Homo-oligomer: A and B are copies of this chain.
Amino acid sequence: MVCVSNPERRYVISFGCPDRTGIIARISGFLAEHGGWIVEAAYHTDPDTGWFFTRQVVRADSLPFDATELRARFAEVAKSLSAESSWQVSDSGERRRAVILVSKAGHCLYDLLGRVASGELDVDVAAVIGNHTSLGDITRAHGIPFHHVPFPSGNAEAKSAAFAEVRKLVDEHDPHAVVLARFMQVLPADLCEAWAGRALNIHHSFLPSFVGARPYHQAHARGVKLIGATCHYVTADLDAGPIVDQDVIRVDHGDSVEDMVRKGRDIEKVTLARGLRWHLEGRVLVHGNRTVVF
């Protein structure tokens, strides 16, 4: 077995199913039978719901068949474990694609583009879509198409048309991740549904505190001593989707709202990047409104 940072091709198997004895033996037996070399294995049981979760990473060259065949054979295993609806087999040899939605604030976009450019975040950014034009130049400097879709305020019909345009631009790339990098627009229910489990948002507070608009102003008014950031899957309930990661940073009475905004950026950037990385690596399994992060 070799470490996960080794660039060799791997298959990642993950699923959730009702817990019972013998699940680990079933999966590891299936893999051992074909010579599968497991390089990472993680398990979790949720005692409240009696549900079992796992993620296994296997060296591709240790198996005598390709991803398609692995999927076909693993479907049998999944069925025998009542995991039909949740199992996934992904192939590290297939490139991942992301589309990033932005507004005016550029710190998360600059950060993500820098990570991609320096090879840290292994994803193709297919496009960046902004409701302002200000982040077009940096996007194009990275060789990525930028689409400007204006969102006229206060006009429901025009907003609806703008979201339809965004959806079209996103869906033509069929991305593995739709990243709301401080997009500042509430996704309509149909987009939440269409992108369920793929749309990641960064909210600039330690949820569930300070849902909605101007969370740093809310935090300042409440006099908290730490501010936070939350990366979560987008659902139809505002800022209430399954949480992938959170972080905090210390503030004190000397910090104005503007200071909080500045300090908060550092945790927004890192929390979003970490959440996106985990999502792309298939580490995040959603279970009800919670996540298992392997």
Chain B nearest CB from A253 CB (Å) reads 4
Q: How large is the interface on A (under 10, 10 to 19, 20 to 34, 35 or more residues)?
A: 35 or more
Given A36-B21, A253-B292, A289-B223; A117-B111 close (CB under 8 Å)? no
A258 CB–B CB distance under 8 Å: yes
Known: A225-B246, A246-B226. A52 touches B1 (CB 8 A): yes
Flag A21-55 by CB within 8 Å of B: 1 or 0 each: 11011101101100111111111111100001000
Structural contact, B21 and A32, CB atoms closer than 8 A = yes
Interface flags for A116-156 (1: CB within 8 Å of B; 0: not) read: 01101000000000000000011001100000000000000
Interface string of A67-82 (1 = CB under 8 A from B): 0000000000000000
Q: Give the residues from 244 to 265 in chain A that come closer than 8 angstroms, CB to CB, to chain B.
A: 244-248, 252-254, 256, 258-259, 262, 265
Chain B residue at smallest Cβ distance from A292: B253
Kindly identify which residue among B24, B45, B137, B248 contacts A226, using a CB–CB cutoff of 8 Å: B248
A38 contacts which chain B residues (CB < 8 A)? 21, 24, 43
Give the residues in chain B near A22, CB-CB below 8 Å: 28, 32
CA A38 to CA B25, docked complex, whole Å = 10
Copies of this chain in its oligomeric complex: 4
Interface contact A242-B226, CB-CB below 8 Å: no
Is A291 engaged at the interface, CB distance under 8 Å to the other chain?
yes
A222 to B211, CA, bound (A): 13
Does A105 reach chain B (CB closer than 8 Å)?
yes
Which of A87-95, A157-165, A185-193, A201-209 lies at the binding interface? A201-209
Beta-carbon nearest neighbor of A277 in chain B? B262
Q: Which B residues touch A208, using CB under 8 A?
A: 209-210, 222, 224
Whether the Cβ atoms of A254 and B41 lie closer than 8 Å is: no
Contacting residues, chain B, for A52 (C-beta < 8 A): 1
Q: Is A9 an interface residue when CB atoms closer than 8 A count as contact?
A: no
Q: Which residues of A contact B (CB under 8 A)?
A: 1-6, 19, 21-22, 24-26, 28-29, 31-32, 35-47, 52, 62, 105-107, 110-111, 113-115, 117-118, 120, 137-138, 141-142, 206-210, 222-226, 228, 242-248, 252-254, 256, 258-259, 262, 265-266, 270, 273, 289-293
Sample (23) of A-B pairs whose CB atoms are under 8 Å apart: A1-B19, A1-B45, A5-B262, A29-B29, A42-B43, A106-B117, A106-B118, A107-B114, A107-B120, A110-B110, A110-B115, A110-B117, A117-B138, A207-B222, A207-B224, A208-B210, A222-B290, A223-B243, A225-B243, A225-B244, A226-B228, A226-B247, A226-B248
